Structure 1
Amino acid sequence: MLLHPMLSQAVNSLLLIISLVSVYGSAFAVSLNAELDRTKVVEGESLTLTLSAKTRPQGGPDLSVLAADFDVIDQAQSTRLSIVNGNASSLTEWQVTIMPKKYGKLRIPAIHWGQLVSSPIDLEVLRADQANANNLETRQVLIETEVSTKNPYVQGQVIYTIRILAKVQMQQPALTQFKVANAMVEKLGEDTSYSKERDGHKYNVIERRYAIFPQRSGLLTIESPILSAVIADPRRRNLVLRDPFFGVPFGDPFGTTNNAFSQQIRMRGPSISLDVKPQDPSVIGVWLPAQKVELLETWNPNPPSFIEGQPTTRTITIMAHGLSAAQIPDLTIPSISNVKFYPDATQADNQARDDNLIGIKTFKQAVVPAVAGRITLPEIRLAWWDTINNQPQLAIIPAQDIEVLPAINADAKNIQPNQNNSTLSSNLAPNLSSKNLPTAAVHPENSAKTDPGNVNLKPNSILDNQSLGYLNWFLTSMILSIAWLTTILLWLIERRRKVRQPKVNDLNAAKLSKLATQIKQYCLANDARLARLALLNWGRANWPDQPPTNLNGLASALNSEIATAVFQELDQCLYAGAASKIWDGRAAWNKLSQLLPNSKPAGSKIQQPLPQLYPNTIG
């Protein structure tokens, strides 16, 4: 069947138009340029994906296609304007900092930005153990992690060490908190810095250590922290010839962080998995896994003296190497019928010594004997598990015998007024006759009848020596009694002051409740900026001695993965350039409402992200 010539010509023209539109559409669709700063990285390193367009698309690029293989760490947008021979042109760039989730051959898929679409990009992620000397040539900064043991006991100590090695000068370094679930964490001392050579390269090193105590047996994974910093990039120095202003974009005239000579890096060290052993089945009762446990005893006064009814202070100290003070149980002092024990407040402290955490717990008690004579104080035992030799051990304060002197009043009752008169007569001067002696000395029975108090005793008599001894005992006891009463009075005053302390806590709780209400209002209003300020004010009120300075510090203080996720999303909405993303304040409040009204845990410490790894810079 033949078409009419005019109809055939119209069909051919339509096909030509469709072909031209298809070709033009394809050229337009790929006009979004995508570029990686490098296509081969080591696992844990971040890389920068730059999307650029000669037009200014609406909104932001759709980065959801990256979620399968990459974490989006940061985003930034900039616009460059150039004028050449009177002709103006602009270039819009969207820089995305990403970190691969796994190693191997990966692909960045096509990304849509408005009506524009980029081409896919392939890259290779090497395993950390594949980074040989050749790789180290291009790696300016390294982050390493290690543990003292990968097979600890539950509640036993694991020393976790983080090292940052840098060959070049770093600016604005920051280190996030590592992540570990079902574990108690204590920081060991201050950071240390030193120099080190490796494979012919000199590195400046900063080292930070933690003591981790797993609270459950089984598999436990420690996720390494993320290091972010700005370093010099020698590969970009040739860009100085590209731009009349030395390659510095107009959006950053001083080139402090994103100029042609610097590179913003983010990297994560390798994660470490632990196989935590359960409590040994032979142990019944308190489980105390440690490297060494000591029981120490001191007395005040030293050496101690014991008097019936008078207190003597006894101090017992437990030193556990490889445990925190919070893990040390209270001592059980066996009771005995002839001695009363009055305990004082327990003191707990942690000390970092020789790359080890030492928990110290001190118990004080007043020991008051009820009777005079010899009394045996019972033995004190503390069972613990030796993690070095894998066997049970006992820390012991052995039983001890004490001699208790009688109370002064009790001794005075046993003294008979005339019991030493015969001795008194025999000790008188031999040349004295009875007629020269006082009547009371010759006839004591008559003296007792007429005037019992009229007894004239010589200073060198035995009765005088005993009276003087009793007087000394009396004065000594009075001084001790006054000191003891003063101690009890001060203790009661201090106890009364502590009882009143909750009034101050009640005021602080009211302030925290008010601040929590403000947080709720700003969250429900989706006001991310005011919600962030209110959260920091709440943190300062809850930890006035060590206030968090940012949301990462507040999340560390709360020790909550939920808070960490919410705060990261909040910061990304405010500062990561995600202007098109609307913060869901209501969802954030639903997650935070169970965390913020509570007061801080007793003895909690804030673990801030590293604000500055080096006092100035390192190079």
Structure 2
Amino acid sequence: MNTYKKIIILLVLAIALLLQATHAISATITTKASRNPVTIDETFELIFQATGSPDGDPDFRPLEKNFEILGNSRSESIQMINGDYSRTTSWTISVMAKTTGNLTIPAIAFGSDRSQAATIQVQKTAETTPGSADQDIFLEITVEPQTAYVQQQLVYHVRIYRAVNISDASLTAPHFNDPDVIVEQLGEEQSFETQRNGKRYLVSQIDYAVFPQTSGTLTLDPVIFQARTSQHSRNQRQFGFGSSPFSMTGPMRRYRSEAINVEVKPMPESGGTPWLPTTNLQLSAVWPKSQPEFRVGEPVTRTLMVFADGLTSAQLPEINAKIPAGFKQYPDQPAMEDRNTSSGITGIRQEKVAIVPTKAGSHTLPPIEITWWDIKTNRKQTARIPETQIQVLPAEGAAAEPVITAPITIANPAKTVKEQAVPDENEAPAYIQQEHSMYRWLSLFLSLGWLSTAIAWWWLRKRYNTQPEIIETEPSHTLKSRQQCLADLKHACQTNHPQAARTAILDWGATQWVNSPPQGLTDIASRLDGQAAQQIQLLEQTLYAKDSSTWEGGDLWKTIQNLTIQPITDKDSDEALVRLYP
């Protein structure tokens, strides 16, 4: 029994020793660099080679402390010599150093196994003057102006000069120490050729508009460009700017620009609100015609526009256009646009406003002003649209206002004749007596006419007040009949034609209120109640909207069709009130 126990113990020990030996063989992981030393702006490879099978997959995250990982690959190989075989697994990591000096390549964990640590020397890139003959690729960064106000536009130019073929190129976006800075690219990348120190370069230029939001020193961090370069110079290629089929791709290289500082000044106390720092701001108003006709109840669209160089449309304020009494205005949604060029942004804001006169006569539209800050002269400026004098005509088909004529009083006809017509010295006195008699008969005739008019008015008013029901006044020969107006309205509503519906409603109103025809849709709506007024107001809003094609007239026709005449309850009322019965 003891013999069996000894055998079992020996077998366990043998297996443990065998596993330990196998583990010792699989844990051999070496580390090496593709070259040493290297420069900070060049890529190189770190190679981790394991003999046997590692305990687990590698974790390369510790490399990110000193290196930027650009890519990795894995390969395996098996060798057999004199019946014995060995397996080798390699991991190749493409990296670029983040700083200069003697950097440590840390030990990498492969499960429970670990690689060997190593060191590598990273050197600075050789100092060269941009554009010198020994440079095939370099960056050039400019910004203008060097001093600016808060929210003023800075134009940031990035130019990449190259005299060789490149591939896998990339450029970092601009980065600043102000987290709230606004950056917009100006158009697409531009390409052109130039010469520096007798060497020909292909230049790629990207422009940015930068708007700092905080005063102080704005730091523009270095821009980084990286690409793989060809071994042949650009002047030796046979196929223009494309890659030659005989060129060979080189290592990945990185190129850095210098950091740039810009001094940002705060907004001056007299800068005004809103704050608009620019070199040029213009304000304009455009009418549909050079001399538009204004008529009560009919809309006229005024287009207001503000342009500003170096400002985005989002920075431009709302145009505060006030109107006097006797007008209504219906603004449309503003149109915003940013026009980009290599020299910067021009912001445009356009507002269209439908102006509807509600009262005839002479009116004055007040001026419109926007204050802005001239960054060239460092002074406040004002863009201004002057006041506009307009004459508003009565609504079409409206009855003319009665002309009140003062009664003719001739207290002393003879004196009046002398004042108005000086007789000739040789004229006979009988002529004067004849004139005196003519004016006396004229005065008597006018007095009798006024008296007969008063009697007729009294008789008609008495007869009108004694009528038990309202008698609809027949329209004059210049107006359409009520039935024709309703037929026109029905057709306009059934065809969903808002302009025709407006005309039919106004004609119907003229037949309904003969003594005081409505001056527009708003006037008609004020004389109605409930659903009728709401439908007419909806029609008016549709006419002033940008798109009136969606209007449906079924509800309007149903409402007008159901209108009935309400009996007059006020004896002093001169017109019937139209009511809508549910």
What's the secondary structure of 2:337's corresponding residue?
strand
Q: Does the 8 A contact of 1:233 with 1:263 survive in 2?
A: no
Greater shift after overlay, 189-198 or 170-179?
Answer: 170-179
Q: Could you report, residue by residue, the CA deviation over 1:293-326 in whole angstroms, capped at 9, with x for unpaired residues?
A: 1101100133222223332111110001101001
- The aligned counterpart of 2:275 is 287
TM, length-normalised to structure 2: 0.56
* The one of 537, 542, 545 aligned to 1:489: 542
What's the secondary structure of 1:112's corresponding residue?
coil
* The one of 99, 106, 113 aligned to 1:111: 106
Q: Does the 8 A contact of 2:303 with 2:350 survive in 1?
A: yes
What's the secondary structure of 1:92's corresponding residue?
strand
Q: Does the 8 A contact of 2:272 with 2:372 survive in 1?
A: no
Amino acid at match of 2:195: E
Q: Does the 8 A contact of 1:229 with 1:266 survive in 2?
A: yes
CA distance in 2, matches of 1:479, 1:301: 23
- The aligned counterpart of 1:121 is 120
Q: Does the 8 A contact of 1:46 with 1:100 survive in 2?
A: no
Q: Could you report, residue by residue, the CA deviation over 1:509-557 in whole angstroms, capped at 9, with x for unpaired residues?
A: xxxxxxxxxxxxxxxxxxxxxxxxxxxxxxxxxxxxxxxxxxxxxxxxx
Amino acid at match of 1:148: E
Q: Could you report, residue by residue, the CA deviation over 1:545-585 in whole angstroms, capped at 9, with x for unpaired residues?
A: xxxxxxxxxxxxxxxxxxxxxxxxxxxxxxxxxxxxxxxxx
Q: Does the 8 A contact of 2:227 with 2:253 survive in 1?
A: yes
Aligned alpha-carbon RMSD (Å): 4.6
1:343 and 2:343 correspond: no
More helix by percentage: 1
1:166 and 2:162 correspond: yes
1:327 and 2:303 correspond: no
CA distance in 2, matches of 1:321, 1:491: 32
Q: Does the 8 A contact of 1:188 with 1:352 survive in 2?
A: yes
Aligned pairs (5 A) from 1:556-595: none
CA distance in 1, matches of 2:45, 2:258: 23
Deviation of 1:194 after TM superposition, in Å, equals 1.0
Instruction: Tell me the number of residue pairs that the alignment of Structure 1 and Structure 2 aligns.
Output: 389
Amino acid at match of 1:125: K
Q: Could you report, residue by residue, the CA deviation over 1:9-59 in whole angstroms, capped at 9, with x for unpaired residues?
A: xxxxxxxxxxxxxxxx9xx99953224476345xxx343243354747844
Amino acid at match of 1:359: G
Q: Could you report, residue by residue, the CA deviation over 1:161-217 in whole angstroms, capped at 9, with x for unpaired residues?
A: 222222222223333433342122222112111112223332222111121212222
Deviation of 1:411 after TM superposition, in Å, equals 5.1
1:132 and 2:129 correspond: yes
CA distance in 1, matches of 2:89, 2:78: 9
Q: Does the 8 A contact of 2:207 with 2:342 survive in 1?
A: no
- The aligned counterpart of 1:96 is 94
What's the secondary structure of 2:542's corresponding residue?
helix
- The aligned counterpart of 2:206 is 208
Aligned pairs (5 A) from 1:34-113: 34-36=33-35, 39-41=38-40, 45-51=41-47, 53=49, 55=51, 58=54, 59-60=57-58, 64=62, 67=65, 70-79=66-75, 92-101=90-99, 106-113=101-108
What's the secondary structure of 2:400's corresponding residue?
helix
Amino acid at match of 1:412: A
Deviation of 1:285 after TM superposition, in Å, equals 2.3
Deviation of 1:274 after TM superposition, in Å, equals 3.0
Aligned pairs (5 A) from 1:236-255: none
Calculate percent identity across the aligned residue pairs. 25
Q: Could you report, residue by residue, the CA deviation over 1:241-290 in whole angstroms, capped at 9, with x for unpaired residues?
A: xxxxxxxxxxxxxxxxxx98432334444443333221112224211111
1:183 and 2:181 correspond: yes
Q: Does the 8 A contact of 1:315 with 1:364 survive in 2?
A: yes
Q: Which runs of 4+ in 1 moved over 6 A?
A: 82-89, 133-136, 478-481, 483-487, 495-498
1:403 and 2:391 correspond: yes
What's the secondary structure of 1:51's corresponding residue?
strand
Question: Which ranges in structure 1 are unaligned for 5 or more consecutive residues?
Answer: 1-24, 236-258, 417-444, 450-466, 469-477, 499-619
Q: Does the 8 A contact of 2:68 with 2:98 survive in 1?
A: no
CA distance in 2, matches of 1:136, 1:29: 48
Against the structure 1 CA distance between its residues 491 and 303, is the aligned structure 2 distance closer, same or farther, given a 3 Å change threshold?
A: closer
Q: Does the 8 A contact of 2:39 with 2:123 survive in 1?
A: yes
Amino acid at match of 2:383: A
CA distance in 2, matches of 1:136, 1:143: 14
Q: Does the 8 A contact of 1:192 with 1:207 survive in 2?
A: yes
Q: Could you report, residue by residue, the CA deviation over 1:357-407 in whole angstroms, capped at 9, with x for unpaired residues?
A: 011000111222333332221111101111222221111111122222333
- The aligned counterpart of 2:32 is 33
More strand by percentage: 2
Against the structure 1 CA distance between its residues 155 and 261, is the aligned structure 2 distance closer, same or farther, given a 3 Å change threshold?
A: closer
CA distance in 2, matches of 1:480, 1:303: 27
Q: Does the 8 A contact of 1:36 with 1:50 survive in 2?
A: no
- The aligned counterpart of 1:393 is 381
What's the secondary structure of 1:206's corresponding residue?
strand
TM, length-normalised to structure 1: 0.53
Deviation of 1:496 after TM superposition, in Å, equals 11
1:156 and 2:152 correspond: yes
Deviation of 1:95 after TM superposition, in Å, equals 2.7
Aligned pairs (5 A) from 1:289-368: 289-353=277-341, 355-368=343-356
What's the secondary structure of 1:304's corresponding residue?
coil
What's the secondary structure of 1:64's corresponding residue?
helix
Q: Does the 8 A contact of 2:48 with 2:115 survive in 1?
A: no
CA distance in 2, matches of 1:158, 1:378: 36
Against the structure 1 CA distance between its residues 52 and 234, is the aligned structure 2 distance closer, same or farther, given a 3 Å change threshold?
A: farther
Question: Which ranges in structure 2 are unaligned for 5 or more consecutive residues?
Answer: 1-23, 234-246, 405-448, 454-476, 479-498, 505-519, 522-538, 552-582
CA distance in 2, matches of 1:195, 1:492: 52
CA distance in 2, matches of 1:56, 1:82: 10
What's the secondary structure of 2:124's corresponding residue?
strand
